[in-house]
Amino acid sequence: MEQKNQIFKDGSKTFYYASRFFPAGKRQDVATLYAFVRLPDNYVDRIPQLPDEFYSFRKLYEQSASAVTGNKVIDDFRALQLRKHFKQAWIEAYLDAMERDLSENVIRTETDMLDYVHGSAEVVGLMMSRILDLPENLDEYAIKLGRAYQLINFIRDVDEDITFGRTYFPEEDLKKFGIYPLTKESIYRHQQEFSDMMRFQIQRFRTWHTEAMSGVSAMPYRYRVPVLTASAQYLWTASVIDRDPMTVMEQKVKPSRWQVISGGLAASITQLLRR
d(CA 27, CA 57): 24
- With CA atoms as reference, report the closest residue to 164 among 174, 154, 173, 172: 154
pLDDT in tens, 92-106: 999 999 999 999 888
d(CA 162, CA 154): 11
DSSP state string for 148-190: HHHHHHHHHTHHHHHHTT---S-HHHHHHTT--S--HHHHHHS
Q: Where on the phi/psi map is residue 166: left (φ > 0), alpha (ψ -120 to 50), or beta? A: beta
| pLDDT reading at 275 higher than 70 | no
d(CA 263, CA 275): 18
d(CA 170, CA 114): 10
pTM to 2 decimals?
0.96
Fold of 3-273: Farnesyl Diphosphate Synthase (1.10.600)
Chain centre distance of CA 255 = 15
pLDDT in tens, 117-161: 999 999 999 999 999 999 999 999 999 999 999 999 999 999 999
pLDDT at 120: 98
pLDDT in tens, 3-15: 999 999 999 999 9
In the chain, where the domains are located? 3-273
